[in-house]
Structure 1
Amino acid sequence: MIVVMKSGTPDAEITRVSDELGTWGLSPEKIVGQHKVVIGLVGDTADLDQERIQELSPWIELVLRVEQPFKRASREYRHGEPSEVIVQTPNGAVPFGEHHPLVFVAGPCSVENEAMIVETAVRVKAAGAQFLRGGAYKPRTSPYAFQGHGESALELLAAARDASGLGIITEVMDTADIEKIAEVADVLQVGARNMQNFSLLKKIGAQEKPVLLKRGMSATIEEWLMAAEYIMAAGNPNVILCERGVRTFDRQYARNTLDLSAIPVLRELTHLPIMIDPSHGTGRYQYVPAMAKAAIAAGADSLMIEVHPNPAKALSDGPQSLTPERFDRLMQELSVIGKAVERWPQPAPVLA
């Protein structure tokens, strides 16, 4: 349920109404929109009389029920307004959101050694990326495949950040690793295989760093948004959704089916920022440019693209990785579409 306050409502009145609703056993959350303030009500609201809430103040404009099962993640919860996730990086604050320039995340699937990750970071930064992706801990289908270097790779990511000034995004697989990963990462990633690891979602929602939530390989959009709800219900509102392809019946030609139709669907259902990962979505570097361009045209807020200095020797996901040279060319091509939809960072989208 949400309570929409009239434009110009005094802060003292908003506080008074929130405090009163708190005495009803609810958890009021103040949401400041572009023109109005909304008070989100979390708790057992099924039997609440909307007229009773309306009578609390002449400054209340509307009292509405949120019909979706995902409450905080619902666009209704913000009265139709998109949210933004602002990430602090060494070069300043970078905003993700519908009304902000595109944000580019690039780097290898896994961190292999210091020279490789530093070189990649410097190259993708020069091409226009704002974040470096790289797995310290890697979930793999085979127990015999490379699982990442673990904690030692976090030091290499820190070295890459120092060399490039990029923000760091890396995956968390275990609740025990959250704290040490958060010391290095600017955004903590929950991978596709852990999208419904509810213990992990609760723990990662209890810390303050923004969270990148990838869609599960066979997850419906509602299941994905309910996973986001777990994180937000634990106290962290800063969630970025990442579509990375779903498993369908045809895997001969592409690794997954990249669901670009999810972009307009999510725009209607949720206020959260949307990222697209065309590398995992296709599994082949040849297809990444076309899907990246399509994602921007469809309204994505961010792209995550795998880049490796020598994909043929990559320890994981080499076939879907671009070389730095191909990434340079792709960014030039993407700028044409990005400028056409008025989402291209001019200059880079960094806030003072």
Structure 2
Amino acid sequence: MLIKIKRNANRKDVDEFIQKLGGGQAGVKIINWGDDRYLVSKKLTENSPIIEEIKDIKSKHHLSSREFKLEDTVIAIGNTRIGGSSITIIAGPCAIETELQIKSAARFVKAAGAHILRGGAFKPRTSPHSFRGLEEEGLKYLQEAGKEVGLPVVTEVMTAEDVPLVAKYADILQIGSRNMQNYMLLDACGKIRKPILLKRGLSSTVDEFLLASEYILAGGNQNVILCERGIRTFENAFRNTLDLNAVAYLKQVSHLPVIVDPSHGTGLRPLVTPLAQAAIAVGADGVIIEATATPDEALCDGAQSLDEPMLNTLITNVNRISSVVYR
């Protein structure tokens, strides 16, 4: 249950009301949602003049559910829109390797028609001996590349302590699959107002995914983008199994924009374009693609990265599918 508090209610009256409901021990807390305040409570046992509205939400995902907000959330970053009727293409290298590499990628990503530039400065790797990113130097290169071509940029943040640093350079902060249930990081991203691209954990259920998003929303940050990036199954013909069921389901139950990562979802270059097309067909609001000038020489995830001609083909095909599904 969500209890909307009147805007003119003072904090003392709100605190007294919370205590009547059982206080923090009963799980009652204030959530700031833009200019509005809500209380989360399992039940309402008291009437109060501070109450403006009561939403009896049955979903566990209070703030991400369509019970709370029926219309689609649309996130604006400059002239770029994520969600609603828009289809958003995010593209760029998995890892920022050099200034020349990211700026070269930025130019062809922009020319191909992508809307946002991606690139990893901090890279969580399975092996500690793999390339793990240029860190702040990479962030600087990414920001410069984005400004040079006029594209907003997205990059991964790995720890709560790094949120201010990454937010200084990036327009969108990505929480990777391995960190989906890093609750300190989720809380930290809830305290800022920059958009957060939240990737589904490789072994996480949809419920767990939505509850992770709830941490960010409960912190007051309404700018959350869900990203399906494939899950680990018994299948070993490809890196992950891209769960397009989840995409269609998320669009039904949540108002948040949903994008798809067919690069990680398949791990195989020839499968990226057909799965990107399929993602748009089932209702995704966009795709995030790994692309670099020389994918076979990439230090990270080259097998699933596209080169410039491949990215051009993907975007052309995605736009065709978009028109078919009236986006």
Aligned equivalent of 1:76, options 40, 43, 67: 67
**How far is the alpha carbon of 1:338 from its aligned partner?**
1.0
Distance 1:151 1:29, change over 3 A: closer
2:62 and 2:214 in contact (8 A); partners too: yes
Partner of 2:220: 235
1:22 and 1:28 in contact (8 A); partners too: no
Aligned pairs for 1:107-122 within 5 A? 107-122=92-107
Counterpart of 2:67 in 1: which secondary structure? helix
**How far is the alpha carbon of 1:16 from its aligned partner?**
5.5
**Take 1:241 and 1:310, find their aligned partners in 2: how far apart are those partners?**
29
Partner of 1:8: none
**Take 1:191 and 1:219, find their aligned partners in 2: how far apart are those partners?**
13
**How far is the alpha carbon of 1:31 from its aligned partner?**
7.6
Counterpart of 1:212 in 2: which secondary structure? strand
**How far is the alpha carbon of 1:45 from its aligned partner?**
4.5
Q: Extract structure 1 runs of 4+ deviating beyond 6 A.
A: 17-21, 53-57
Letter aligned with residue 85 of structure 1 = I
Aligned pairs for 1:135-154 within 5 A? 135-154=120-139
Aligned pairs for 1:103-252 within 5 A? 103-251=88-236
Letter aligned with residue 240 of structure 2 = N
Aligned pairs for 1:1-352 within 5 A? 1-2=1-2, 15=7, 22=14, 24-25=17-18, 27=30, 41-48=38-45, 52=47, 63-78=54-69, 80-87=70-77, 92-97=78-83, 99-251=84-236, 253-343=237-327
Partner of 1:35: none
Counterpart of 1:245 in 2: which secondary structure? coil
**How far is the alpha carbon of 1:55 from its aligned partner?**
12
**How far is the alpha carbon of 1:168 from its aligned partner?**
0.5
Q: Report the TM-score, using the length of structure 2 for normalisation.
A: 0.89
2:31 and 2:220 in contact (8 A); partners too: no
Letter aligned with residue 201 of structure 1 = L
The superposition leaves residues 104-142 of structure 1 with CA deviations (integer Å, 9 ceiling, x where unpaired) of 100010001111111111101111111111100000001
Counterpart of 2:194 in 1: which secondary structure? coil
**How far is the alpha carbon of 1:162 from its aligned partner?**
2.1
Letter aligned with residue 93 of structure 2 = P
Letter aligned with residue 260 of structure 2 = I
**Take 1:118 and 1:69, find their aligned partners in 2: how far apart are those partners?**
43
Identity of aligned residues (%): 41
Partner of 2:24: none
Counterpart of 1:77 in 2: which secondary structure? coil
Partner of 1:348: none
**Take 1:225 and 1:109, find their aligned partners in 2: how far apart are those partners?**
25
Counterpart of 1:240 in 2: which secondary structure? strand
1:2 and 1:40 in contact (8 A); partners too: no
Distance 1:326 1:339, change over 3 A: same
Q: Report the TM-score, using the length of structure 1 for normalisation.
A: 0.83
> Which region of structure 1 is more displaced relative to structure 2, 18-27 or 181-190?
18-27
Distance 1:18 1:46, change over 3 A: farther
2:33 and 2:221 in contact (8 A); partners too: no
> Which region of structure 1 is more displaced relative to structure 2, 115-124 or 17-26?
17-26
Distance 1:119 1:129, change over 3 A: same
**How far is the alpha carbon of 1:291 from its aligned partner?**
0.4
Letter aligned with residue 86 of structure 1 = A
2:89 and 2:287 in contact (8 A); partners too: yes
Structure 1 gap segments, 5+ residues each: 5-12, 33-38, 344-352
Structure 2 gap segments, 5+ residues each: 19-28
